[in-house]
A and B are shown apart, each in its own frame.
Chain A
């Protein structure tokens, strides 16, 4: 019998089946009451009042800073904890999308092995927790003692934070900071300067093109802005309207999705671009203006088809077809990036590829190439401080100082990302790492300053230009910072203050607001004639009465977003001095021929899960199968079927890759898509620590690279085109076997396995 209250509160007595069961249950209940104990559960009353209802989802806008793309995100928070990241549908860059790396920022935030308090190397040689004051003082004393011998490495993407570090360097008196950025970004700028006369990373309008040739640019992998480019690709190829052709030695995810993949010999991308130019010039499909502009850059005769096919190692027919389709296309577009720019001839190759846009008249038009303009907030914060140095400058500086001095590394892990720096770090007097984790650099540091991750901090980001439209994105912190972590910008300001040369702002947010405020004033002063370079487009300040209101409105609106009218072609006036630096890739010698059957060209690549290594500490990403090799949890070497047969290697076998200075052992994955004579290895593995999920996982392929190889004409380290030897070592032990998700794929090639979906019509 259950007595109770009905819907309206009046007592209600019913006898149901369940009550009947209870009658004979009664005996058992008596017995069991003694045995069962109810575990007490607790419910917490929060300390502070909140506007949100308990357990209710609050969505907060934020910016993803996992890479420089600047995707706007919404973070779902419940009871002040971040639960989920989603793309902001109105996001300037991403339009609602997020990539795998972006999602995993949550696991960076709540990583169990994060550094949440300042650490200093004690007398025992171990890192010990200290107070912020002590840590800052130790760091500042070291910097102030030898500002000239101090090297700053800033990992922040270009934008206000990098500007702050530049200002820091100028104020404290150190050399300009080294900007830790993808190598191909530096090369791309230089190639763009040569081809278009303006040293900005070109912005591509894929979506409105109808024929895109990507020379090495892995635009659907981890390159620049994967979410934006992915969406643009979808638009390009929707209803088979446009086509993407990938010219790349490795079968990347982009190559896998491209309508056509030209697996050229590594290092011959520039030659192909010249060869294509030859075919285009000969086809008569090229306008006079384009021909003139192109021939001004490359007065020499382009190589003929046979030579191109020979050098690139691909079928002449395919090159011919590509040229014909390019000539036929209404809005063709050529992009350059990735491994094509990371070889020693990267600048020449990049310039040759980008110059095709001149020939095809795709510069500054719909579906073409635009200048990568921005609102200049990096410079606004930097003041008149010198420009940041390219990554390779770090190696030069460290070599020049004989390895002593002070190193300040903020949000970067050069020790993992660049070979040959170990000795210099070993000899440095003081290494100061601003990091959220014990990455390889922080592990060697004398002072570790914990920094906030994306969702904990005030953000001001100038995104990678999208279709050439500039923007500045601003967001407030989403969740409370963990432990004592501070904003890296605030750390820089505190360091400067402790070193006795304080910057004019108390914090990073104030710095950005003051820059906004100055920009308002300059724009107001310039009036309609936007002659002052410090002025913003006038439309952006329209409606704001004063600087304070403008700043307030900008931060509330999440930043400043430009319009399509602000796009422009690269400024051609500066081209006068260009041809001086330009090199015809066709005039460069071919890369050395392979020496022996074991000699392979190494192609290191950024997988979309580990990126440059920063993804390695997140279980979601470690356990994410690589889309092509389907490997999880570790590194692997991609070997072609033919080569594997020759070497006697089967999938899973442990192979040794020997470079000039080092060797690594890792499992081989045999794929039918690898160009014979080349071997692909993802970067991002082999961390000495970096938290429990990354520690000792995989191998660091960067150690195979030659530390002295440079991309000619750019301060970038050349990681493509290194030659390695491959030897098969053994069948893997159980614990060494690569973790392959699509375990059946190997068998699928051997037996007729039915994966074919059958047309059953719609549900």
Chain B
């Protein structure tokens, strides 16, 4: 009993100590991202004050960077909840150090992704017309519109993701509460901890809560990106009207999600010296998943373009033409290279599935997946059926500012989160350590142990 207890304590101390340490890198990151947050809000404010025309969108390219970024960020959000849920459900041990950071990515990416449709609106001040609520005008939104489904799906997902991030955070918040000196900080953690005392009953409820959410969140996540794809697939627009868009988008989302996760893991491993937990084997495994997704994505892309080409439909072929040979050929083939050729070339070999190469491949895939969304939105719109109206699109500084600013907002939120709360789940790590030490794979037994342990100021080991 003593050894694991001591080990757990040491582990807590080690992790929390690392979290507590003031790291100059984080501070600089916070400041830089804070500046980008200002850029974001300045650009948005400028757009609201002057009109949506400060963007580069036009007729016929009515959707531009905002929708591209919307899809991109929603895709990124699949890094966390979905992957962590799958890992939890399958009880993959190596998930323990990554789940928290992945779930945080989900929540923040979703928050930002969810903002983009609002930024995109011509009259954002009356965005609430899209929300079904009883009103004195006696009007309801149009439930046939994919945009209304979007709102429902994203709201569900964001609430689910927030809960899913929040539940495993409760025991850790309690630890933070107990370590903090009285004051505003303590009260903050106290609110987050929801009165957690670490009783067996509470642990039991928490476990169940997480388990139910983990199962429930998977279909929600799948549905979200499917519905996002329906913003396109449900239209008449050549280049969009496609039955495979649902799974194609989900695969793309998971693909980009893994890319973010690979980058985050590599950074965490270095930043928090977690080599002990995020072993090369973890990267190897995730790398295999990554290359699989790359291949699946490549397969979908091929299937999509083959059917278009084969169909011979004049209008579809026009879009296909500008993509493969026309104005958009350079981004298209870049996308194929960074999303398919490089991942396959690098990750097929065990030496390629190490932290640094996977992270670099992940960066490439992020660029590639952003391009993919660009290539879905812009070429289709700029090549309408009546050729007279063919147009082009160049983003304005406002759109670029908001795009870069959004990255800043994300970074700022993430840095703030890292400063305030343990980015690695302390209790799950300890649980994992105990599994490793006790060799018990039986969750219930292993989890029962700490609750019956001797009194400890740490709620994880509390109870009398």
A positions within 8 Å CB-CB of B: 17-18, 21-22, 25, 742-745, 747-748, 751-755
Docked complex Cα distance between A747 and B322 (Å): 10
> How close is B316's CB to chain A, nearest CB, in angstroms?
10
Contact A745 B387 (CB under 8 A): yes
> How close is B289's CB to chain A, nearest CB, in angstroms?
40
Given A752-B318, A754-B314, A744:B390 Cβ within 8 A: yes
Docked complex Cα distance between A745 and B134 (Å): 48
Given A18-B138, A21-B135, A753:B391 Cβ within 8 A: no
Contact B136 A754 (CB under 8 A): no
Contact B391 A743 (CB under 8 A): yes
User: In the complex, which of the residues A18, A25, A743, A752 contacts B390, with contact meaning CB atoms closer than 8 Å?
Assistant: A743
Residue-wise, chain B 375-397 has the 8 Å CB interface mask toward A (1 for contact) of 00000000111111111100000
Contact B387 A748 (CB under 8 A): yes
Given contacts A17-B134, A21-B134, could you give 9 more A-B pairs where the C-beta distance is less than 8 Å? A18-B136, A21-B135, A21-B136, A742-B389, A744-B387, A748-B388, A751-B322, A751-B326, A752-B314
Residues 308 to 339 of chain B near chain A (Cβ within 8 Å): 314-315, 317-318, 321-322, 326
Docked complex Cα distance between A745 and B388 (Å): 5
Docked complex Cα distance between A17 and B139 (Å): 13
Q: Which 6 A-B pairs have the closest CB atoms?
A: A744-B390, A753-B387, A754-B314, A748-B387, A744-B387, A742-B388
Contacts of A18 on B, CB cut-off 8 Å? Answer: 136, 138
Docked complex Cα distance between A17 and B321 (Å): 55
Docked complex Cα distance between A17 and B136 (Å): 9
Given A21-B134, A21-B135, A21-B136, A754:B390 Cβ within 8 A: no
> Which chain A residue lies CB-closest to B326?
A751
> How close is B381's CB to chain A, nearest CB, in angstroms?
12
Contact B136 A744 (CB under 8 A): no
Residue-wise, chain B 278-320 has the 8 Å CB interface mask toward A (1 for contact) of 0000000000000000000000000000000000001101100
Contact B315 A754 (CB under 8 A): yes
Docked complex Cα distance between A747 and B389 (Å): 10
User: In the complex, which of the residues B138, B390, B392 contacts A753, with contact meaning CB atoms closer than 8 Å?
Assistant: B390
Most chain A CB within a 10 A radius of its CB, from B383, B384, B386 = B386
Docked complex Cα distance between A17 and B140 (Å): 14
> How close is B104's CB to chain A, nearest CB, in angstroms?
35
Contact B387 A754 (CB under 8 A): yes
Contacts of A751 on B, CB cut-off 8 Å? Answer: 318, 321-322, 326
B positions within 8 Å CB-CB of A: 134-136, 138, 314-315, 317-318, 321-322, 326, 383-392
Contact B387 A747 (CB under 8 A): yes
Docked complex Cα distance between A213 and B125 (Å): 61
> Which chain B residue lies CB-closest to A734?
B394
Can you report 28 residue pairs joining A to B where beta carbons are below 8 Å apart? A17-B138, A18-B138, A21-B134, A21-B135, A25-B136, A743-B389, A743-B390, A743-B391, A744-B384, A744-B390, A744-B391, A745-B388, A747-B390, A748-B390, A751-B318, A751-B321, A751-B322, A751-B326, A752-B317, A752-B318, A752-B321, A753-B387, A753-B390, A754-B315, A754-B385, A755-B385, A755-B387, A755-B388
Docked complex Cα distance between A753 and B314 (Å): 7
Contacts of B388 on A, CB cut-off 8 Å? Answer: 742, 744-745, 748, 755
Docked complex Cα distance between A742 and B317 (Å): 21
Contacts of B387 on A, CB cut-off 8 Å? Answer: 744-745, 747-748, 753-755
Contacts of B384 on A, CB cut-off 8 Å? Answer: 744
Docked complex Cα distance between A742 and B314 (Å): 20
> How close is A496's CB to chain B, nearest CB, in angstroms?
53
Contacts of B326 on A, CB cut-off 8 Å? Answer: 747, 751
Docked complex Cα distance between A18 and B318 (Å): 51
> Which chain A residue lies CB-closest to B59?
A743
Docked complex Cα distance between A743 and B60 (Å): 10
Contacts of B392 on A, CB cut-off 8 Å? Answer: 743
Docked complex Cα distance between A25 and B392 (Å): 47
Docked complex Cα distance between A747 and B386 (Å): 12
> How close is B387's CB to chain A, nearest CB, in angstroms?
3
Contacts of B134 on A, CB cut-off 8 Å? Answer: 17, 21
> How close is A755's CB to chain B, nearest CB, in angstroms?
5
User: In the complex, which of the residues A21, A25, A742, A753 contacts B318, with contact meaning CB atoms closer than 8 Å?
Assistant: A753
Docked complex Cα distance between A18 and B138 (Å): 8
Docked complex Cα distance between A751 and B326 (Å): 9
Contacts of A25 on B, CB cut-off 8 Å? Answer: 136
Contacts of B386 on A, CB cut-off 8 Å? Answer: 755
> How close is A441's CB to chain B, nearest CB, in angstroms?
37
Most chain A CB within a 10 A radius of its CB, from B138, B385, B387 = B387
> Which chain A residue lies CB-closest to B389?
A744
Contacts of A752 on B, CB cut-off 8 Å? Answer: 314, 317-318, 321
> Which chain A residue lies CB-closest to B390?
A744
> How close is A485's CB to chain B, nearest CB, in angstroms?
36
Docked complex Cα distance between A28 and B45 (Å): 27
Docked complex Cα distance between A202 and B435 (Å): 107
Docked complex Cα distance between A747 and B392 (Å): 11
Docked complex Cα distance between A745 and B389 (Å): 8
Docked complex Cα distance between A421 and B384 (Å): 50
Contacts of A747 on B, CB cut-off 8 Å? Answer: 326, 387, 390
> Which chain A residue lies CB-closest to B314?
A754
> How close is B236's CB to chain A, nearest CB, in angstroms?
14
> Which chain B residue lies CB-closest to A741?
B388
Docked complex Cα distance between A162 and B172 (Å): 96
Docked complex Cα distance between A339 and B243 (Å): 58
Most chain B CB within a 10 A radius of its CB, from A742, A744, A745 = A744
> How close is A29's CB to chain B, nearest CB, in angstroms?
11
Docked complex Cα distance between A296 and B321 (Å): 65
Contacts of B390 on A, CB cut-off 8 Å? Answer: 743-744, 747-748, 753
> How close is B171's CB to chain A, nearest CB, in angstroms?
39
> How close is A225's CB to chain B, nearest CB, in angstroms?
30
> How close is B78's CB to chain A, nearest CB, in angstroms?
36
Docked complex Cα distance between A748 and B138 (Å): 47
